[in-house]
Structure 1
Amino acid sequence: MCAHPAIKAFMCGSLSGTCSTLLFQPLDLDIGPTDHPAVDRVGMVTVLLSVVRTEKLPGLWKGVSPSFVRTIPGVGIYFSTYYSLKQHFFQDRSPGALGAVLLGGGARTVAGVFMLPVTVIKTRFECGRYSYSSVVGALRSVCQTEGTAALFSGLTATLLRDVPFSGIYVMFYSQTKASLPKGKISASPSAPLANFSCGILAGVLASLVTQPADMVKTHVQKYSWSFIIFSRSALSFWENGLQGYFRGAVPRALRRTMMAAMAWTVYEQMMAHIGLKS
């Protein structure tokens, strides 16, 4: 029996998420806000070199296990939801700019809410403030000490960041692809490069627009949720000027852009390979 197209989209998305995470995990090192202002000012290259010196090359993939736990099902859910929504509302038609925003935002909302507990654990796992030995152990510890609600800390900030990012990304990605010569987006050898280039262009703007929410979200998830912490985090960055919200913007934008571009490229190639229109 043939699998349902949405299940195939889930499998294609999961594999694309695996590839993008494995390749770009080193860019996911926590170099955002910390308890030490001096650390906040160091650059991405400095952090990467420091990790290599102290933890050797494998240290760049610290936290890859929780990343896989989050990304493999999370990206699968995202793409299967995206595919299902697109087939239901647009069928064989290409969505316009507004339709692309709604598709991307809707898919990210579903995936974001479903995978938020793992995202919280991943953020804490990498920040160094907690002595978690495993993802399962971290989940158990949070539930026992802070309650289940802590697993959904930063939900508002996460959705404020991820939903607009996905919507803006899909809009620019689809519109950029539509502007290319038809021969570039097909079964030709240049199709992956064209898709990846469109993804890079779409990701840069989407990452910069959503960077402030990303900073607040990461801070809230590190210290467990409360309205006071959320307010103080937002105010703290604001008091440091506009640049406070964009501290660490380059590595974060680089990682999100590269991972999104790679995920979409692999997803579209796999969907085309199995005969489904992405």
Structure 2
Amino acid sequence: MEDERFRIRPHQQICSAITGAVTTSLFMTPLDVVKTRIQTQQKALVSNKCFLYCNGLMDHLCPCPANGNGKNGIRKPVVQLNGTVDAILKISRAEGVYSLWSGLGPTLVSALPSTVIYFVAYEQIKRQMTSMHHSFYDKSSDKMPLYVPLMSGVLARIFAVTAVSPIELIRTKMQSQKLSYSDLSKAIKELVRNEGVIALWKGLPPTVLRDVPFSGIYWTCYESIKGYFNVTTPTFQFSFLAGAAAGMISAFVTTPFDVIKTHRQIEFGEKVIYTSNPVRDLPKRKTLESLVRLYSSNGLPGVFAGLGPRLAKVAPACAIMISSFEYGKSFFYRYNEKNYYDKEHSPE
């Protein structure tokens, strides 16, 4: 898909990214609903106020539901759930099949902008960096050097999280204080007036440290797999398997950072969001310091806590997202190719 005549346009990349994000949510949301239902019936939770789950596109911090119906479409199960299949069957019978997709709408509204920016930025940066490399360093080879997907993934993720950080801040404020849109507007204006525009990007550094390593490793692994098998236009099956493999490798390497991130978000939920007396300033700890403390208290198993469930979640999410995205790109490339030749052979 490198022919300039048929190159995929940015708006076509956007459509491909949206298709991938929607497809990933449709497949992954039922698994998350099941997981959270099972978690809420357990007696020993990490936190008695909130819990964290991810639907394959983004993380969500949610309150632990009390008796009766909880928030965010998560209800206390009326029957004992024993495993994934059992939970799917019992929830479907008791509440209807559609309950397996509880919270899908808010997820898409929150995750689509970030996903679209991320994938389109990656494609554009990769294209420019590859072109520059071949122009200045290696004109005889058309192979992509490893630093291109690495840097493209890193820069695309930084760009995406920076662009949506104000949106995430607004979402968190609405979630924590139950503000109306007019109250929210006043709160944001007050924040900017007191602390400047930069205050809209509070919390950006921890997010970057959490997501950037995963993105760099993921795209490097994915593009390396394509290069190893000499694949330029991957089939749906190939991109699915390659995406799953790259996702598992990235998830394994970055699990310690994910553990630290989860602890911080749970602490933030307990002490700031889901409490009547929110703490104004949480203690700030460096990531390396947190890892050392965690290793000292729990050893290697503590640093890699939740590795199995994380791999089970990340692998299919990455596989569905990248295969849907690549399929969309192939579709639009063939579409552009057909249009080009139709114009070439059309009568004047």
Structure 1 residue 214: Cα displacement:
1.9
CA shift, 1:174, in A, is 0.7
The residue type paired with residue 197 of structure 1 is L
1:104 CA displacement? 1.0
For 1:168 and 1:230, the matched residues in 2 are separated by 25
Report the Cα distance in structure 1 between the residues aligned to 2:123 and 2:199, rounded to whole angstroms: 31
Residue matched to 2:27: 23
Contact 1:173 1:202 in 2 (8 A): yes
- Other-structure match for 1:97: 146
TM-score normalised by the chain length of structure 2: 0.60
Q: Give the alignment partner of residue 204 of structure 1, picking from 245, 248, 253.
A: 248
Residues 129 and 148, structure 2, Cα contact 8 Å, conserved in 1? no
* Contact in 2 for aligned 1:40/1:247 (Cα 8 Å): no
Deviations 1:83-103 (A, max 9, x none): 211222213854221211111
Residue 50 of structure 2 is aligned to residue 39 of structure 1: no
d(CA) in 2 for partners of 1:152, 1:69: 20
State the Cα distance separating 1:153 from its structure 2 match: 5.5
Q: What CA deviation, in whole Å up to 9, does each residue of 1:33-88 have, x standing for no partner? A: 99x993249xx996856796698565543432332123222111111111211222
Write the letter of the residue equivalent to 1:243: P
CA distance in 2, matches of 1:123, 1:252: 24
> How far did 1:18 drift?
1.2
1:228 equivalent among 256, 280, 283: 283
1:82 and 2:122 equivalent? yes
Distance 1:60 1:244, change over 3 A: farther
Change (3 A) 1:99 1:257: same
Match for 2:323: what amino acid? T
Closer, same or farther: CA 256–267 of 1 in aligned 2, 3 Å: same
Post-superposition CA distance 1:117-164 (Å, at most 9, x none) = 555677899xxx96969xx87x949957x9588875543232122111
- Cα distance in 1, alignment partners of residues 24 and 102 from structure 2: 15
TM-score relative to the length of structure 1: 0.72
User: Which segment drifts farther, 59-68 or 207-216?
Assistant: 59-68
Equivalent positions of 1:161-176 (< 5 A) are 161-176=210-225
Shift of 1:19: 0.9
Give, in whole Å, the separation in 2 of the partners of 1:196 and 1:208: 18
Q: Number of paired residues?
A: 262
How large is the Cα RMSD of the aligned pairs? Answer: 4.5
Give percent identity, aligned residues only.
Answer: 26
Structure of greater Rg = 2
Offset at residue 221 of structure 1 (A) = 3.7
Distance 1:112 1:180 in 2: 32
Which residue of 2 is the match for residue 244 of structure 1? Answer: 302
Residue 70 of structure 1 pairs with residue 140 of structure 2: no
Structure 2 SS opposite 1:25: helix
Q: After the TM superposition, which residues 181-200 of structure 1 pair with which residues of structure 2 at under 5 Å, given as runs?
A: 182=231, 186=233, 191-200=235-244
Query: What's the offset of the Cα at 1:115?
Result: 2.4
Structure 2: any 5+ residue segments left out of the alignment? 1-7, 48-52, 54-80, 135-141, 193-197, 273-279, 337-348
Question: What pairs with 1:97-176 in structure 2 (closer than 5 Å)?
Answer: 97-118=146-167, 140=184, 152=201, 154-176=203-225
* Greater helix content: 1
Q: 1:96 to 1:28 in 2, by over 3 A?
A: farther
Unaligned regions of 5+ residues in structure 1, if any? none
In 2, Cα distance between the equivalents of 1:217 and 1:248?
Answer: 13
Q: Which amino acid aligns with 2:283?
A: I
**1:195-218 deviations in Å (ceiling 9; x for gaps):** 110111111010111122223223
Shift of 1:273: 1.1
Contact 2:166 2:201 in 1 (8 A): yes
Does the residue aligned with 1:275 lie in a helix, a strand or coil? Answer: helix
Asked if the contact 2:252–2:307 (Cα under 8 Å) also holds between the matched residues in 1, the reply is yes
On the 8 A contact 1:203/1:260 being kept in 2, the answer is yes
Counterpart-to-counterpart distance in 2, 1:123 and 1:140: 11
Alpha carbons 2:236, 2:327 under 8 Å: kept:
yes
**Contact residue 63 and residue 122 of structure 1 kept, 8 A:** no
